[in-house]
Structure 1
Amino acid sequence: MTAKLSNFKLLGYSLKVNRNHVLCWGCVSFSSEQKWKSSFQNSQLEGKLVLKAEEAQLGACQDLRSQYCSLSLDVQITTQLHHRINTAVDELTQLQDSVQQEVAYGVKGSVGEVDGLVRKWREVYEGLKSVSLLLSAHKHLDDAHKAEMSHEFRNTAQNLAEVDRILGDASKKEIESQLDVVSALQDAVVIRRMQLVYTVGEVWNETVSWDEERRNNGSRVVTLLIKVGGESSKESLQKLQQMFEALYMLGELQRRIKALGKNLMRYFFRPIINCHAELKVTERSDGYSIQVTQQDSKKGNFPAAVVFMTLQKVFAVLHSSLLSLSIKAGEEEVSLMQLLGREVSEEFTQVLIKECLAEAVPCSQAQLNKYEEVKVAAKDFQQFLVDKGFYRPDEMSIMEYAANVDTVFSNKACAHIMERARELMVRPVHVLVCITPLEPDGPLVIQDEGGNKLIKSTMKLENLLSAKTFNLPRCQISASMCDLVELIYETMEEACTSSPQHAGRLFYTVRNILSLYCHVVPTAHAYSLATLPQQAAVIHNNSMYLGHHALLLGHQYKSKFPQDLRESILTTVDLGHELRKMATTTFLKALQGHRTALIDTLRESCGLDTIGCNIDGVSKAEQGMRQCLHQLQLLHRVWQTVLPCSVYTKAMGVLISSVIEEVITRVVSLEDISADCALALINLLNLLKDNVPALFIVEGESATLADDVVCYVKLWGKFSELIIVLGASLREILDRWAEGKGPLAHEFTPDEAKQLIRALFQNTDKRAHVLAKIK
C-alpha cells in the first residue's frame, strides 16, 4: 500500500512539473539557445514522466490482479487508481502536443534520442489506455452487481454488455502483461451473466406460471396465471418492462416467448379450436387467471363464431396483462404480442383453417347462405389480431380462406361426397335387396327382404328404358350399393343446378367414385371374397349394377348441365367397362378357388386311383365324391337366389365340368378294372349323375330344368357314356363304336376306348378282334 501511495505522489509531482513546463513553453520570447536547453530539459523530464507512468500502470495492474485473480477487495484504491490513470493519460496527451509543436522542430541534433523517447512514450501511453479499459470494465461490473441487487435488470444487462464491449476492445490491443487480468474479467462477466439469467428467469416463472390438473371425470384443466404485482399498474409495468428488456439483451426473450407460444398452442388454442373446451377468465388482485377445461369424452367442433369469440377473449387478456409491452429491438419498437405472432402465427393459422374454418364450410348448396355469418366473424377476428399485433397488417390468410367460398365450398362438398362414397363401399354387403319385376316382362323394381317395394332414384335408368332394352336381369345386390348409386344420382342432380365450375367438379367427383370403387372394394372385402361364396356373388352383382348405370349416366344428364359444360365430353362409359371387368375378374377368382377346392377334395380321397384293383378304395372314393356334391349343393343354395340365372348356370356348369373331367381322367387312366370294381365305379358315378342335374334348377325360374346339365356341362355326354361302357360287354362296346360313328366314338378317342377295353377285359381273341375294329 505504501508503494502504491508513493507511486501516486511521484505521479502527482511529475504532473505538476509537466504543467509548469507547458506554461514555460507557452512563452514566445525564448532565444534559440534557450529553446535548445529547454528541449533538453524537457526530454529529461519526459523520461522521468514515462518512468512514473510505468510505475502507475504497474500499480493498477497489481490492484486488478489482487481483486480478480487473488479475490481481495479494495474498491476505494481501485477508484483512485482509475482517476490517477485518467489524469496521467491527459498529461501525456498534452506532452505529446508540446513535443510535436516545439521539440520535434527545435531539437534536430537529438532526433534519434527523441524518437526513442517518443516510441517509449507511445508504448507507455498504450499500456495506460489498456489499463484504463480494464479499470472501466471493473467499474461496469461493479455497477452491474449493484443494479442487480436493486432489481434493476435492464441496467444490469446494459453494464454487462458494456463490459463485453470493453473487453473486446482490450483484446485487440497488445496487453500481454495483463492477459491474466483480462481472462479473470471475462470469467467474472460470464458468472455475472449466468446469475442474471437465472434471476430474471425466476422472475419470469413467477410472472407466468402453468398448472395442469386431471380430474376424476376424465377432464383436463389447464390454468395460466399471469401475476403483474400488487402495486400500481404503472410500477408493475415498469418492472415487467425492465425484465423483458433484460431478457432481450441477454438473448433469452425469444426462447421464453417461443416456449410460451408452444404452451398456448398445446393447452389453449388447439383444445378451443378442435375440442369442446370451456374457457374461464378470472381477474385477481395480483393479475389474471385463464383456465381451459377439456373433456376427453367430447370430441368435435364448436361453431366457428363461438371459436372466434373464445379465442378473442384469450388474446384480449394476454394483451392487456402482459403482451402489450414493447421492447426496442434494433431500430424498431416491437411488442411481445408481435414476437409471439412471429413464433406461432403460422401454426395457429393452419390449425384454425383446418380444424375450424374448413369444418364450417357447408357440404351442400342449401346450407351455403348460412356461411355468410362465418365470413363476417372471420373478418372481425382477423382484424382484431392485426390490431393487437399478433398478425402483420398484410397477413390475410384467415379472411382470404373464408372469403374464397366458391373454391372452399367446392372442395369441401366434393371431399364430403367422396368420404360418404368410401364409407358405403366398405360397409358389409350381406344386407341384400332384390331387383325383380313385379309382373312378367314388366319394369324392374327394388324390393327389400320382406318383398316391399323400395322407391329409389337408382331405377331412373330402368324407367327410361323399355322392359327388355338394356335391362338388368333379376338378381340380388347389397343395400349399401343402392345407397351408393343414390348418392351418385344426387350428386348429378346437384351438378345440374350449380355453377359451371362446381358442376364440373361434381361430375368428376362421380367419375372418381366409380374409379375408387374398382380399387377399394376388392381390397376392403378381400377376406370375405376368399372365404364366403355369397360375398363374391354379391360383389359381382354390385359391380355389374354400378357399371350398368355408368354406361348411360353422362348421356342422361348432359343436356341438363350448365351451358358451358354441354360442349365438353362428359361420359362414364369407360368406367362402366372397368366396373364390368372388375366384376368378372372378382367372380372368376372366387370361382377358381372353388374349383381348386373341389379338385383337391377328389385327389385327397385317393379312392379313384386304387379302385381298379382294390375294392376297399370304393369307400374312400365315395367319401370324396359325396364331399364334392356337398360343396356343390352349398354353392347352389347360396348362389341360386343371388346371381342372375344365366350367370349361375354358367358358373355351376364350369365347376361341375371340372369335377367330371377329373373323374373321367382318373377312371380312363386305370390299367386294370375287375368286374366288382367296375360295378362299384358304376354306382359311384351314378351317385354323381343322379345328384348333379338338380343343381341347375333355380327356384322361381320356371325356364330352368334338370336337363340343362347337358347344355352347361360340356363333358356330361362323355361322363354318361363312361358309365355305360363300364357295364357293357365287348359286343355292346363295339356296337356303340359303330365304326367310328356311334355315341362312343363321338365322346371318346380310339386310344381312350382301347384303354378302357384293356382295363375291363382279359386278353382274348375276342378282345383283340374288338380292339382291331376300333380305329
Structure 2
Amino acid sequence: MSLVADVIASVRSKSGEKAGKPGTGQLEELVKRAEEAREAVCQTLGSRYDSLAMVVHDTAHLHHRVANALEDLTNLHSSIEQEVVNGLEGSVGEVGGVVRRWREVVGGLEAASTLLTIHTLLDEAHQAELEYEFLKTAENLAKVDKLLEDASEKDVEGQLDLLSTLQEEMLVRRTQLVYTIGEVWNETLTWEEERLGDGSRSVTLVVQAVKYESKEDGLHKLQQMLGALHMLGELQRRVTSLGKNLMNHIFKPIINDAAKVKATDRSDGYSVQVTLPANTKEKTPASTVFVHLTQVLRILHSALLCVKIEADEGEISLMQLLGKQLGQEFTEVLIKDCLAEAVPCSRAQLEDYEEVKRDTQKFQDFLIEIGFYGPDNKSIIEYAANVDVVFSNKACAHLLERARELMTRPVHVTVSVTPLEPEGPLIIQDETGKKLEKSSMRLEKLLAAKTFNLPKCQISASVCELVELIYETMEEACTSAAPYAGRLFYTVRNILMLYCQVVPTAHAHALATLPQQAAIIHNNSMYLAHHALLLGHQYKHRLPQALRDNTITTVDLAQQLRRMATSTFLKAMQWHRASIIDTLRESAEQGMRQCLHQLQLLHRVWQHVLPHTVYTKAMSTLVGSVVEEVVIRVVGLEDISADSALALINLLNLLKDNIPPLFQVEGEAKTNPGDVIRHVRLWGKFCELIVVLGASLHDILDRWSDGKGPLAHEFTPDEAKQLIRALFQNTSRRAQVLASIK
C-alpha cells in the first residue's frame, strides 16, 4: 500500500480518536520526501549553471522524483478534503497547520518543477540551434523568458540566486543565437563590388541557397531563420539594412545612371549584377527602367523575399516587409528621376507618352503581385495618369530652363535692329476705325509716326531667340485649354521677371569691364521692354474666353526691364567715368592723350551698338565730365607763366580738336562741330578758357564787356579774377581790370 493510502487508512480507522497524529506523521514523511526532491533540484541546477561546470546528473530521475511527490501530495490533498476535514472536526487547528505546511511544500515543488522545465527548454534550444532549427530555438528561449518572469514573481526560499543565474544563461543563449543567425544571413546575402578596366563599376548581389538536400528544405530553413529573427526583434533591422543596400547599389543606379542588369540562376543560388558605366549623362527610357527593376525584383522574390513568417498582424512575406520599409523612398525616386523625365515637354509628344502609361500600369501590377506594394497603393500610376498637371508643370519648367540657358549665353554675338519706315502718311481714326478727315488736333499730339519703332541698334542673337520663344509660347497658349493657357501666359511673365534677375548676375564681370557688352545688355533689355509693352494687347482677344475677362498684360514688366537697362548701363558709365578721370591725374600731356584714347575706344565700340540718341547722351556725359575736370583744375591754378599758358593752350586745343569726331557715327551724315556745344556741358566755358589763356588784359576786359560779353556768360566774376591773377603779374593795369570785373 502506498504512503498516501496508509495515511487515509489511518485517518479512517481512528476517526473516533483524536485524529491527526498518525495521519500527520505520514504527511510529515511525505513532506520530508518532497523537501529532499526540491533541494536536490536546486543543488543540481545550481551546480550546473552557477559554477558553469558541466556536471552530469540524472535530471530525468530528479524530474521523476518531483513529479511523484507532487502527485502524492495532490492525492493526499483530495483525501483530506473528502475524508479528514469532514471527519476530524475536533482537530481543525492541527490539520490546518498540516495543510499550510503542505501548501508551502507544494509551492516549493512547483518552483523546482519550473526550474527543471527551464533546464529542459534550454537543452532543447541548444540542440535545435545545432540542427539549424532557429525558429524552435527562439520559441524555446521565449518560453524560458516567460517562465523566468513568472518565477521571479514568486518568493521561494533559496531560489533567487538560481533564477538570476538562469536569466544570465538565457541572455547568453539569446545573444549566441542572434550571432549564429546573423552569420547565416550574411552567408545567404553577399555583396561583391568590382572596378573594371574602362572605369566602370559593377555591384553583384548573390543570394545563396542554404546548403541542404533540396530547394524546399532550403526555403524551410530560410523560413526558420526569418521567423527566429522576427521573434528575436532583429528582422526589422536586417530588412532596413537590406533595403538601404538595394536602394543605393541597385535601384538608384538603374533609375539614374543607365546601369546594365544581368541576372543569373546559379547552382548555389541566384546573382544580380548591376554595372555602372564610367561616364554617362544619358537618361534610360522609362520602359527600360521598368524591365530592369522587374528583372531584379523577380529574382529576389523567388530566391528569398517570397518567404513568409508569422507576425502579429498575421502571415507576412519578407517582400511585404521590404515594401513597407522601402516603398515610399523607392516611389519618390522612381517618380522624380524616371517618370518625371518621361513626361513630354510639348503637346506633339503626348501620344508617345501613352506607351509609358501602359508600361507604368504593368509595373504597378507587378509590384502589387509580389507584395512590394499594397493593393491600394497606386502612387506611380496615378502620377503617370495625371498627365495634364504633370505635363503643364514639365512644359512650363522646360520653358523657364530654356529661357535661362538663353539668358546666360555670351552676348557678344549680335544682330542689327532697324526700324520699319511707315509706307504712307499716318491716318487718324476714331474708336470704330473710321478715318477722321478733319481733325482739330495736331497730328504730332495724337501719335508720332515712330512711337512704337525701336531705334536702330545691335542686340544679342540670344535675346532674339528669347523673344521668339516668348511668342511661340503665346501662340501655343492661344490654341490650348484655359488652365494650360493661363500657365503658359504666366510662364511668359516669369521669363521676363527671370531676365531681370539672371542677366545682371550671370554677366556681372562683363558688365563691369567690357563697354560693348554693357551697351548690348542695355539694348537687349530695352528690346524686351519694347515687346512687353504690346504683348498682352496682341494676344488678349486670341486667348481662351476664360482668360479674356482677366488682366492680360506685361506692361508692368516693361517698366522693370527699362529700369534694369538704365541702371546696368549707368553703372558701366560710372565705372568708365571714374577710370577716365583717374587718367587725368597723371602728367598733363600723357593723361590727356590717355583720356582721349579711352574716349575714342568707347566711340569705336558704342557707335554702332547703341541707338544714336543713347550714344550721343552717353558720350556727351563722359566728355562733359572730362571738360569739367579740366576747367576746374586750370581755373584753380594760382600762377600760370607765359610758357605754361602756351602749353595749356596746346593741350586744351588737342582735346578740343578730338572731341567733335567722337559724335560722328561712321556711315551717317557728318556732325557739325558747332553742334557739340549742344551736347557737352561746359563746352562753351572750355572754349572760352582757351581764349583767355592766350588773351591780353585788354582782350579779357573786352570779352567781359561790363558783364555782358562771352567771358561773363561762361565765368563768374570770381573765376575770371582768379584767372587774371594767375596769368598776369600784379600791376596797376591788372588792378584796373580786376576792379572792372564785377
Name the CA distance, whole Å, in 1 between partners of 2:146 and 2:155: 17
1:126 corresponds in structure 2 to: 107
Q: Report the secondary structure of 2:415's partner residue.
A: strand
Name the CA distance, whole Å, in 2 between partners of 1:718 and 1:225: 92
1:173 corresponds in structure 2 to: 154
| Contact 2:41 2:62 survives alignment (8 Å) | yes
Which residue among 39, 55, 59 is the counterpart of 1:58? Answer: 39
Q: Report the secondary structure of 1:44's partner residue.
A: helix
2:619 is the alignment partner of 1:652: yes
Which digits, 9 at most, give the CA deviation of each residue in 1:526-569, with x for residues without a partner? 11111111111111011000111111111111111111111111
Of 48-57 and 755-764, more deviation after overlay is shown by 48-57
Q: Using a 3 Å threshold, how does the CA distance of structure 1 residues 731 and 105 change in structure 2: closer, same or farther?
A: farther
In the TM superposition, residue 523 of structure 1 has moved relative to its aligned partner by: 0.6
In the TM superposition, residue 384 of structure 1 has moved relative to its aligned partner by: 1.1
2:472 corresponds in structure 1 to: 490
Q: Using a 3 Å threshold, how does the CA distance of structure 1 residues 92 and 230 change in structure 2: closer, same or farther?
A: closer
Q: Using a 3 Å threshold, how does the CA distance of structure 1 residues 252 and 296 change in structure 2: closer, same or farther?
A: same
Name the CA distance, whole Å, in 2 between partners of 1:547 and 1:331: 66
Name the CA distance, whole Å, in 2 between partners of 1:83 and 1:739: 146
Which residue among 228, 232, 245 is the counterpart of 1:263? Answer: 245
Letter in 1 for 2:16: E
Which residue among 739, 742, 751 is the counterpart of 2:709? Answer: 742
Name the CA distance, whole Å, in 1 between partners of 2:250 and 2:30: 72
| Contact 1:274 1:300 survives alignment (8 Å) | no
2:216 is the alignment partner of 1:249: no
Which digits, 9 at most, give the CA deviation of each residue in 1:646-690, with x for residues without a partner? 101101111111111111111111122222221221112112111
In the TM superposition, residue 503 of structure 1 has moved relative to its aligned partner by: 0.5
1:194 corresponds in structure 2 to: 175
In the TM superposition, residue 421 of structure 1 has moved relative to its aligned partner by: 0.5
1:17 corresponds in structure 2 to: 3
2:251 is the alignment partner of 1:284: no
Which residue among 408, 417, 435 is the counterpart of 1:426? Answer: 408
In the TM superposition, residue 625 of structure 1 has moved relative to its aligned partner by: 1.2
Q: Report the secondary structure of 2:280's partner residue.
A: strand
- Equivalence map 1:112-151=2 (5 Å): 113-151=94-132
Which residue among 48, 54, 72 is the counterpart of 1:67? Answer: 48
Letter in 2 for 1:634: L
1:730 corresponds in structure 2 to: 697
In the TM superposition, residue 77 of structure 1 has moved relative to its aligned partner by: 1.9
2:393 is the alignment partner of 1:407: no
After TM superposition, the score normalised by the length of structure 1 is 0.89
2:195 is the alignment partner of 1:214: yes
| Contact 2:7 2:26 survives alignment (8 Å) | no
2:207 is the alignment partner of 1:226: yes
In the TM superposition, residue 107 of structure 1 has moved relative to its aligned partner by: 5.6
2:357 corresponds in structure 1 to: 375
Name the CA distance, whole Å, in 2 between partners of 1:727 and 1:753: 14
Q: Using a 3 Å threshold, how does the CA distance of structure 1 residues 83 and 230 change in structure 2: closer, same or farther?
A: closer
1:610 corresponds in structure 2 to: none
1:510 corresponds in structure 2 to: 492
1:163 corresponds in structure 2 to: 144
Which residue among 665, 671, 684 is the counterpart of 2:632? Answer: 665
1:766 corresponds in structure 2 to: 733
Name the CA distance, whole Å, in 2 between partners of 1:417 and 1:553: 17
| Contact 1:697 1:706 survives alignment (8 Å) | no
In the TM superposition, residue 704 of structure 1 has moved relative to its aligned partner by: 4.0
Q: Report the secondary structure of 2:204's partner residue.
A: strand
| Contact 2:458 2:610 survives alignment (8 Å) | yes
Which residue among 682, 707, 711 is the counterpart of 2:678? Answer: 711
Letter in 2 for 1:52: R
| Contact 1:442 1:467 survives alignment (8 Å) | no
Name the CA distance, whole Å, in 2 between partners of 1:557 and 1:772: 73
In the TM superposition, residue 297 of structure 1 has moved relative to its aligned partner by: 1.6
| Contact 1:434 1:474 survives alignment (8 Å) | yes
| Contact 1:601 1:627 survives alignment (8 Å) | yes
Name the CA distance, whole Å, in 1 between partners of 2:719 and 2:455: 42
Which residue among 725, 740, 751 is the counterpart of 2:718? Answer: 751
In the TM superposition, residue 333 of structure 1 has moved relative to its aligned partner by: 0.4
2:665 corresponds in structure 1 to: 698
Name the CA distance, whole Å, in 1 between partners of 2:104 and 2:736: 140
In the TM superposition, residue 111 of structure 1 has moved relative to its aligned partner by: 5.4
| Contact 1:207 1:227 survives alignment (8 Å) | yes
1:448 corresponds in structure 2 to: none
Of 286-295 and 509-518, more deviation after overlay is shown by 286-295
In the TM superposition, residue 386 of structure 1 has moved relative to its aligned partner by: 0.6
Identity of aligned residues (%): 64
| Contact 1:695 1:706 survives alignment (8 Å) | no
Name the CA distance, whole Å, in 2 between partners of 1:466 and 1:161: 97
In the TM superposition, residue 178 of structure 1 has moved relative to its aligned partner by: 2.1
| Contact 1:274 1:299 survives alignment (8 Å) | no
In the TM superposition, residue 496 of structure 1 has moved relative to its aligned partner by: 0.9
Of 405-414 and 529-538, more deviation after overlay is shown by 529-538
Q: Using a 3 Å threshold, how does the CA distance of structure 1 residues 78 and 675 change in structure 2: closer, same or farther?
A: same
Name the CA distance, whole Å, in 2 between partners of 1:665 and 1:348: 75
2:186 is the alignment partner of 1:205: yes
1:312 corresponds in structure 2 to: 294
Q: Report the secondary structure of 1:673's partner residue.
A: coil
Name the CA distance, whole Å, in 2 between partners of 1:113 and 1:537: 121
In the TM superposition, residue 130 of structure 1 has moved relative to its aligned partner by: 2.1
In the TM superposition, residue 50 of structure 1 has moved relative to its aligned partner by: 3.2
Q: Using a 3 Å threshold, how does the CA distance of structure 1 residues 705 and 381 change in structure 2: closer, same or farther?
A: farther
- Equivalence map 1:410-559=2 (5 Å): 410-436=392-418, 468-559=450-541
Of 676-685 and 346-355, more deviation after overlay is shown by 676-685
Q: Using a 3 Å threshold, how does the CA distance of structure 1 residues 695 and 623 change in structure 2: closer, same or farther?
A: same
2:594 is the alignment partner of 1:622: no
In the TM superposition, residue 409 of structure 1 has moved relative to its aligned partner by: 0.2
| Contact 1:696 1:708 survives alignment (8 Å) | no
1:568 corresponds in structure 2 to: 550
Name the CA distance, whole Å, in 2 between partners of 1:116 and 1:31: 19
Q: Report the secondary structure of 2:730's partner residue.
A: coil
Which residue among 14, 33, 38 is the counterpart of 2:16? Answer: 33
Of 176-185 and 713-722, more deviation after overlay is shown by 176-185
| Contact 2:227 2:309 survives alignment (8 Å) | yes
Name the CA distance, whole Å, in 1 between partners of 2:670 and 2:485: 47
Q: Using a 3 Å threshold, how does the CA distance of structure 1 residues 384 and 51 change in structure 2: closer, same or farther?
A: same
| Contact 2:8 2:23 survives alignment (8 Å) | no
- Equivalence map 1:328-339=2 (5 Å): 328-339=310-321
Name the CA distance, whole Å, in 1 between partners of 2:499 and 2:573: 21
Name the CA distance, whole Å, in 2 between partners of 1:555 and 1:23: 122
In the TM superposition, residue 627 of structure 1 has moved relative to its aligned partner by: 1.2
Of 635-644 and 76-85, more deviation after overlay is shown by 76-85
Q: Using a 3 Å threshold, how does the CA distance of structure 1 residues 662 and 107 change in structure 2: closer, same or farther?
A: farther
Q: Using a 3 Å threshold, how does the CA distance of structure 1 residues 19 and 541 change in structure 2: closer, same or farther?
A: farther
| Contact 2:467 2:528 survives alignment (8 Å) | yes
Of 337-346 and 307-316, more deviation after overlay is shown by 307-316
Which digits, 9 at most, give the CA deviation of each residue in 1:112-136, with x for residues without a partner? 5555544444333323222222211
2:444 corresponds in structure 1 to: none
| Contact 2:243 2:325 survives alignment (8 Å) | yes
Q: Using a 3 Å threshold, how does the CA distance of structure 1 residues 370 and 21 change in structure 2: closer, same or farther?
A: same
Name the CA distance, whole Å, in 2 between partners of 1:757 and 1:109: 154
Name the CA distance, whole Å, in 2 between partners of 1:698 and 1:22: 140
Name the CA distance, whole Å, in 1 between partners of 2:403 and 2:480: 20
Name the CA distance, whole Å, in 2 between partners of 1:175 and 1:434: 105
